[in-house]
Structure formats: structure tokens, C-alpha cells
């Protein structure tokens, strides 16, 4: 059985201890993952600290060239890493699955390498000239989730090192293997110590975020963990980028041609089996259009094959872990007990964390499946009579990552868009992120942004040089 290893200071290190990782589709063992301790966390941070100074001193062009070489390695190894993602995380190879995730890894590496963030003259007159520079923060602690393990890790790693920081990455304890292999591969071109890993459960993440040499924290995960990270950051006054998930609302405006939007609505909700922060988690439909929406989504769901994602014909895989599987089952069971119209689609394999694609109608605000982020393949569809009521419902929860409006006349939707309390409001699409477009949450979905120029700024600190003429 293969034992995977952490990378510290550019070298694979023998694990302190290990634990076994299993395929969520069939329960087969994938190998042993390392489990760090406090001493290994300290070694990783010290390695990053020692490497960061010389990395920051390299010219901007040199760093960009190295990152472009990282993109080449990701592209050359995309098939290998995609198969690891499918076996470990569960998402299918095909469709918007593991190969798609690897394409995103390449793109989100190339784009930061292409961007310029030069010094900016913010004020000048006859007597003075003030120039704003963006300089590295130092050592970045990056904590990645299990739903898009490599893609979100890249979102954290690449902007940070692009701007001259060094990184200590902790992947989720549920999905460490593919991430460790990705880090091993890209360390072939990175200077030793610029990118290090530690692994384990939340206690290791806590040791990392509490470490006195951490200068920035980037975290994607739950709100409860995010609040603990905020507390941890107080010791060092470390700036934070937090993406704490969402309970995204989508509103289909009255009279919209449902056939034109049904496929995009479906994947907006069921991408990665609903295990995506910016998925549609609540769908609000006018009462006159409700039956048509249910019929169209039912027709699509009934055609989907559920199974092991290594099968090229499969587009819907398992949930990633038992905890999430049981949570979604509980929420669907609550909806059934409450008398909701629960419609389940797809033949579910006998083993693995598989659930049918589930549409839940005759449900209202205040019920658990609506108010709690399910993070799984169960979509509540809520009738509304007045559009103002739908907007009020969409804004009624603390979550505020994404939202969407769906309409035959996008101009009408645009008038409503800024009233939805979310970091991104999409029109006739959902979850359509782009490496040039800032992305982040409002309210309890976190703060700070990633991607594009604003994402580069978020992993730097400003330094003003003020010259007296």
C-alpha cells in the first residue's frame, strides 16, 4: 500500500504517523496519508520563512516564468491528477468533473502569471511624489477544502507565490492524496521552501493558523471554522481571506421560458453533486411557472447516470464522505416527514456514498432544507407570488456568497441584481466564476476577495514611498 508524503523545504519527508484514505464510490483503499504533528507544522513554517525572503527578491519576471512552468507541469500531469481526484473526492472524470477541475487549475495558474501590478503614483505635485507599492506579506497559511481540493488550493497558492510570499498548505483530511501529489510535482520547478504542506485534521489547521510566524491566512470551509480562524488571527494581527460557503438563492423571474434555462439551472444546483459553495441551494419560482420548472428539472435529472466517476458515461458521482452523506440524508428525511413533494431520480449503486438526485417541492422558508446549507444533491424549490417576496426570501439568511436571477429579459434582472445581498449576482447563469473577476462573500459567507488584480492585492501589503522634490 502506497504511503504519500508531505513536502517540506522541497523534500518529501517520512510521515510522523499515517491514516488510510478510501474511495467514496466503492470503499477501496487508496493508500496512507501522512498526519503531521506540531513539530512538523513548525518545520514547514520555518522552511517557508527562510525561503520567502530570497523568493521575494527575485524579479517579477522571474517569478512569473516559474509560475508558467508550474502551469506546464499541471497540464502535463492533468490526466494523472484527475484520476486521483475522482478516486479520492468522487467527482466524475467526465463533464464538469475532475478533468474540468484540472483545466481550472491550469487556467488559474496562467492568469495570475499574466497580470501586472506595478507601483502606482497616487499623488504628485511640484513638491512631492507618492508611490504605492505592493509588497509580500511573508508566510501564507492556506487551508483548502475537500470539494474542489486541487482547484481551490491553486486559488490560494498561485496568487500568494506570484506576489513573493511563501505558502504552507493544509489540504482537507478527507482529500489529501491528490493535493500532496500536485504539490510534489510542482515543487520540481519551485525553489525549495516556497510551497510546503502539512496534513491532518482541524487540530493541525489550528496549529498552523496560531503559529506566530504566519503573516496571512487563506481559508475556504465552514462558517464555524472560519470564526475560530478569526480568533486565531488576532494573535499576529494576520490579515485573512475567508470563503465560508453559501446558501445561494436563485430566482426565476415570472414568465421566463423555462426550457431555455433548465439545463443551466440543473447544473447550477447539481455541479459536483451539489458540493460546491456557489451552487444553487434554494430555487425560488413564481407560482405560475412552478409546474414547468419541476417538469423540466425532473426530465433532466431522470436522464443522469449515477455511479463511479471512473466510468466515462457517468456525470453524477457520490458524496465525498460519510458525514456529508448523513447530513443530506437527514435534511431530505426531514422534508419527507414535513409532507414536502420529494422526487428522487437515478439508480443508486449498492455501495458508496451515493444519493439520488432529489428535487423537493411544496417547501417553504423556515424548513431545514431551505435554511441550512445542504451541500448535496437535494434542491428545494419554493413557490413565490410576488417578486418582492422572493427578493426578501433570498436575502433572509445570513449567507451571502452568490445569487442568481433568471429572465428572458436580462435588463429587467439587472435592475434587481444589486438588491441581492451576495458577493456575486449572476444573471442567467450561476457559479460562473472567472480568474479575472473578483470573487468573495458577503455577510456570514466571509470577507476578502480572490482572483484577478484584487486577488493579487489581497496577498500583499501596501507600502507608500513619499518623495520630497
The Cα 425–Cα 150 span in angstroms is 25
Indicate if 114 and 173 belong to the same structural domain.
Answer: yes
Note down pLDDT in tens along the chain; length 469 residues.
899 999 999 999 999 999 999 999 999 999 999 999 999 999 999 999 999 999 999 989 999 999 999 999 999 999 999 999 999 999 999 999 999 999 999 999 999 999 999 999 999 999 999 999 999 999 999 999 999 999 999 999 999 999 999 999 999 999 999 999 999 999 999 999 999 999 999 999 999 999 999 999 999 999 999 999 999 999 889 999 999 989 999 999 999 999 999 999 999 999 999 999 999 999 999 999 999 999 999 999 999 999 999 999 999 999 999 999 999 999 999 999 999 999 999 999 999 999 999 999 999 999 999 999 999 999 999 999 999 999 999 999 999 999 999 999 999 999 999 999 999 999 999 999 999 999 999 999 999 999 999 999 999 999 999 999 9
**Following DSSP, what letter does each residue of 378-424 receive, concatenated?**
EEEEEEESSHHHHHHHHTSSSEESEEEEE-SSHHHHHHHHTTS-SSE
Residue 206 CB-half CA count within 13 A = 8
CATH code, 116: 3.40.605.10
**Does any domain span residue 62?**
yes
Give residue 275's domain range.
249-435
CA–CA distance, 314 with 305 (Å, rounded to integer): 5
Are 303 and 406 in the same domain? yes
105 classed as catalytic: no
Is 329 part of any domain?
yes
Quote the pLDDT of residue 403. 98
CB within 8 Å of 341: residues ≥ 6 apart: 360, 361, 362, 363
Residues 462, 425, single domain; the answer is no
- The Cα–Cα gap between 95 and 89 comes to 15
List, in order, residues 6 or more apart from 160 with CB less than 8 Å away: 140, 142, 166, 167, 216, 218, 459
- 163 with 256, same domain? no
CATH of the domain at 302: 3.40.309.10
Q: Same domain, yes or no, for 16 and 69? A: yes
Same domain (yes/no): 240, 254: no
Specify whether 112 is located in the same domain as 215: yes
Q: Taking a C-beta distance cutoff of 8 angstroms, is the pair 213, 47 a contact? A: no
For the chain, what's the residue count?
469
Give the angle 195-150-301 at the CA atoms, nearest 5°. 170
Instruction: Specify whether 450 is located in the same domain as 368.
Output: no
Task: Look at residue 245 in the predicted model and tell me its pLDDT.
Answer: 86
The one catalytic residue in 105, 277, 279, 340 is 277
Separation CA 26–CA 350 (nearest Å): 9
Cα 279 to the chain's mean position, in Å?
Answer: 11
Q: Is the dihedral of CA 423, 100, 153, 199 positive or negative?
A: positive
Same domain membership, residue 464 and residue 339: no
Q: Across-strand partners of 379?
A: 359
Distance CA 162, CA 166 (A): 9
Catalytic residue among 181, 223, 243, 421: 243
Any idea what DSSP says for residue 61? Answer: H
Say how many domains are in the chain. 2
The answer as to whether 1 is a domain residue is no
Residue 133 resides in a domain: yes
Task: Kindly provide the residue ranges of all beta strands, DSSP E only, lying in 2-73, ordered along the sequence.
Answer: 6-8, 11-13, 17-22, 29-35
| Whether 431 and 464 share a structural domain | no
Residues 31 and 73 in one domain: yes
Q: Is 277 a catalytic residue?
A: yes
Residue 158, domain member (yes or no) = yes
Q: Are residues 16 and 70 in the same domain?
A: yes
Amino acid at each position: 500500500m502506497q504511503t504519500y508524503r508531505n513536502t517540506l523545504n522541497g523534500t518529501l519527508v517520512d510521515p510522523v504517523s499515517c491514516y488510510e484514505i478510501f474511495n467514496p464510490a466503492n470503499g477501496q483503499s487508496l493508500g496512507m496519508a501522512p498526519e503531521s504533528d506540531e513539530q512538523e507544522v513548525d518545520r514547514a513554517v520555518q522552511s517557508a520563512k527562510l525561503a520567502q525572503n530570497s523568493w521575494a527578491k527575485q524579479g517579477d519576471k522571474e517569478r512569473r516564468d516559474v509560475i508558467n512552468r508550474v502551469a506546464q507541469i499541471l497540464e502535463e500531469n492533468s490526466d494523472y491528477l484527475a484520476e486521483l481526484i475522482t478516486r479520492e473526492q468522487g467527482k466524475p472524470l467526465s463533464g464538469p468533473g475532475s478533468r474540468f477541475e484540472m483545466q481550472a487549475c491550469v487556467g488559474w495558474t496562467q492568469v495570475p502569471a499574466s497580470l501586472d501590478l506595478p507601483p502606482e503614483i497616487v499623488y504628485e505635485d511640484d513638491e512631492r511624489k507618492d508611490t504605492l507599492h505592493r509588497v509580500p506579506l511573508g508566510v501564507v497559511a492556506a487551508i483548502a477544502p475537500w470539494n474542489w481540493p486541487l482547484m481551490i488550493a491553486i486559488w490560494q497558492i498561485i496568487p500568494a507565490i506570484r506576489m513573493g510570499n511563501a505558502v504552507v498548505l493544509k489540504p482537507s483530511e478527507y482529500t489529501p492524496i491528490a493535493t500532496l501529489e500536485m504539490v510534489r510535482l510542482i515543487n520540481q520547478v519551485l525553489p525549495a521552501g516556497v510551497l510546503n504542506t502539512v496534513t491532518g485534521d482541524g487540530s493541525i489547521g489550528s496549529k498552523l493558523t496560531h503559529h506566530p510566524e504566519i503573516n496571512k491566512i487563506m481559508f475556504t470551509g465552514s462558517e464555524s471554522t472560519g470564526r475560530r480562524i478569526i480568533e486565531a488571527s488576532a494573535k499576529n494581527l494576520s490579515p485573512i481571506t475567508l470563503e465560508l460557503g453559501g446558501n445561494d438563492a436563485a430566482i426565476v423571474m415570472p414568465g421566463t421560458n423555462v426550457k431555455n434555462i433548465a439545463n443551466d439551472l440543473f447544473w447550477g444546483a447539481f455541479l459536483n453533486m451539489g458540493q460546491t459553495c456557489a451552487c444553487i441551494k434554494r430555487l425560488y419560482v413564481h407560482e405560475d411557472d412552478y409546474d414547468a420548472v419541476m417538469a423540466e428539472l425532473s426530465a433532466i435529472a431522470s436522464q443522469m447516470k449515477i455511479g463511479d466517476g471512473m466510468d466515462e458515461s457517468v456525470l453524477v458521482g457520490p458524496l465525498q464522505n460519510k458525514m456529508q452523506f448523513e447530513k443530506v440524508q437527514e435534511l431530505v428525511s426531514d422534508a419527507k416527514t414535513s409532507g414536502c413533494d420529494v422526487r428522487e431520480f437515478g439508480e443508486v449503486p449498492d455501495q458508496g456514498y451515493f444519493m439520488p438526485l432529489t428535487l423537493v417541492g411544496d417547501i417553504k422558508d423556515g424548513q431545514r432544507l431551505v435554511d441550512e446549507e445542504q451541500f448535496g444533491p437535494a434542491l428545494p424549490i419554493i413557490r413565490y407570488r410576488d417578486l418582492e417576496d422572493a427578493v426578501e426570501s433570498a436575502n433572509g439568511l445570513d449567507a451571502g456568497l452568490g445569487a442568481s436571477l433568471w429572465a428572458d429579459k436580462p435588463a429587467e434582472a439587472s435592475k434587481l441584481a444589486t438588491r441581492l445581498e451576495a458577493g456575486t449576482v449572476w444573471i442567467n447563469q450561476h457559479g460562473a466564476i472567472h480568474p479575472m473577476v473578483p470573487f468573495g462573500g458577503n455577510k456570514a459567507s466571509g470577507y476578502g476577495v480572490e482572483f484577478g488584480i484584487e486577488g493579487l492585492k489581497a496577498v500583499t501589503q501596501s507600502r507608500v514611498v513619499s518623495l520630497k522634490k
